[in-house]
Amino acid sequence: MNIKIKSVAIIMDGNRRWAVENGMSKIEGHKYGAEKISEVIDWVLEEDIKNIVLYAFSTENWNRSKIEIDAIMFLFEDFIKNKLNKIIEKKVSIKFIGKLDMFSKKLQILMSEVEEKSKGFETVLFMAMSYGGRVEIIEGIKRLSQEKTKEDIESLTEGEFERYLWTSELDDPEIIIRTGGDRRLSNFLLWKSSYSELIFTDTKWPAFSEREFKKILKDYQKVKINKGK
């Protein structure tokens, strides 16, 4: 017996600390972290996981220094232009979720073009960019209040409300992995994480390996199988 895992989320933490430990600049850490994403997609496809959501940039990250943000935006642009095409070639759809209007118009256009180009594949990579779980819920409430009457809202169900969230098309993750050593969600998937298994590893994101990823999946499956006995 094997437990099918449909959805996995990852908080990709530890890029800057990994870089410093390895004698590199913090920006180089972000670069290596971005390159890790292509590897992870291969692991996801091999395991036949249909949804993978990666926490790439939070709403709080906008508070970092202008120099660092400018460098990250340059990396985002390079990643979208030069790395995502290879992921799409593997028959993976790309969806960006978050407060995307905080990005430059140029980046917004690039994200829209990638989403359109990659439509229709069964496996979906959700990139959480300028994302915050609290903001997602607030934005959902705003959208809902524009379309629903007071009477509609009084009888609102969880399923109906969920349709107004950025993550409405995302299957609830069975597993949320956080690399880098911290033991918290940091405002990630507050609605969708209600019943997720939370896995925290001290491994920093650029050093996260296929072996560790697959061990996490197998350990989760073993626990579920044993609970079902």
Residues recognised as catalytic = 13, 61
Residue 65: CB atoms within 10 A of its CB come to 8
**224: which 2 tokens?**
């579920």
Give the chain as a 3 state SS string.
CCCCCCEEEEECCCHHHHHHHCCCCHHHHHHHHHHHHHHHHHHHHHCCCCEEEEEEEEHHHHHCCHHHHHHHHHHHHHHHHHCHHHHHCCCEEEEEECCHHHCCHHHHHHHHHHHHHCCCCCEEEEEEEEECHHHHHHHHHHHHHHHCCHHHHHCCCHHHHHCCCCCCCCCCCCEEEECCCCCCCCCCCCCCCCCCEEEECCCCHHHCCHHHHHHHHHHHHHHHHHHHC
Q: Residue type at 126?
A: F
